[in-house]
Amino acid sequence: MKIVVTGALGHIGSRVIRELPLLFPSASIIMIDDLSTQRYCSLFNLPPQASHTFIQGDLLELDLKSLFSGIDVVIHLAAITNATTSFENQEEVEHVNFMTSLNVAEACITTNTKMFLISSTSVYGTQKKQVDENCSPDELKPQSPYAATKLKEETMVQQKVAEEGLRGIILRLGTIFGTSPGMRFHTAINKFCWQAVMGIPITVWKSAYDQKRPYLDLSDAIRCIIFCLEKDLFNGLVYNVATLNATVKEVVNSIKIFVPTLEIEFVDSKIMNQLSYEVLNTRLTEKDFVFQGNLKQGIKNTISLLKESSPHKSKTLDSQ
């Protein structure tokens, strides 16, 4: 099998390029990344079971039709991903994220290559307590430029599946937690873990403490990609991918198990998304996909990694 992974050195990609060879021995994996985040370490110690080729380049400039020739599937992870800061660079996020996805989709059509579009559950902006892939259009009210662009990408892919023969699938991922060589710390759980280990008080908006959000264990994200690939689910449908829905309070309490000295500062600042809702994995559940991730274990793994790597001395982890 020949696989292209865009954004291959990122939080998700750096695990994908290590896990795929274990399930598809002798696979040929082409890794594309512009190295804008300089995560060179994601290329270290790749598993020997597969052939890895790295291409440093911009998806807006590379000849993707040539690169995708003979490729079975493209896992399109490349994107500017920070939703909060997307308000500050809205035009760049809209242009780069949409145009790279468009270029990938058009190249996949030309080369008859399957495509994963990685989207986000942040496209939801609903007043309902629960939402799934069958929600009405008025429940899709993205709360950031990043999320709005993801929804635009989804529409583009679905149109090309319906009208131009693209074989694509859309995965709406919850907020990622869990370790990888290219992991980042700008999203809630990882950021909180970093602050806890460093002895930095966690800043929490009072109005958000009991709000629910969808979170995704990185292991479940990888397993889902492999599951969809094996089931050949490239019919343009959207699949929610969330290990659990949890409140900020539940996340903080889980971190306290391993860092009892954690301090919390409550603030009254306006938050980006005032809504609280649960995201259901209706379509994956109907396909018998089983989520196996665990919030406490993911937090423990992250905190353990940080403590091993940090000169900051904290109390030893519990046995839990």
Residues 6+ away with beta carbon under 8 Å from 194: 185, 200, 306
Domain spans of the chain? Answer: 2-176+216-241, 179-213+246-309
According to CATH, the superfamily of the domain at 179-213+246-309 is UDP-galactose 4-epimerase, domain 1 (3.90.25.10)
Cα–Cα distances in Å, from 254 out to 25, 84, 163, 251, 262?
37, 24, 47, 5, 11
Q: pLDDT, tens digit, for every residue of 108-139?
A: 999 999 999 999 998 987 667 889 999 888 78
Q: Angle of helix 248-258 relative to helix 188-198, nearest 10 degrees?
A: 40
- Answer yes or no: same fold for 2-176+216-241 and 179-213+246-309: no
| 76's tokens | 């399109």
User: In this structure, which topology does domain 2-176+216-241 adopt according to CATH?
Assistant: Rossmann fold (3.40.50)
Residues 6+ away with beta carbon under 8 Å from 155: none
**What is the 8-class DSSP label of residue 206?**
G
Q: pLDDT, tens digit, for every residue of 205-256?
A: 777 888 888 999 999 999 999 999 999 999 999 999 999 999 999 999 999 9
Q: Which of 119, 219, 240, 144 is CA-nearest to residue 177?
A: 219
Quote the percentage of the chain above a pLDDT of 90. Answer: 69
Answer yes or no: is pLDDT of 94 > 60: yes
Answer yes or no: is pLDDT of 271 > 70: no
Distance of alpha carbon 161 from alpha carbon 105, whole angstroms: 9
Q: pTM for the complete prediction?
A: 0.91
Predicted local distance difference test score (pLDDT) of residue 26 = 87
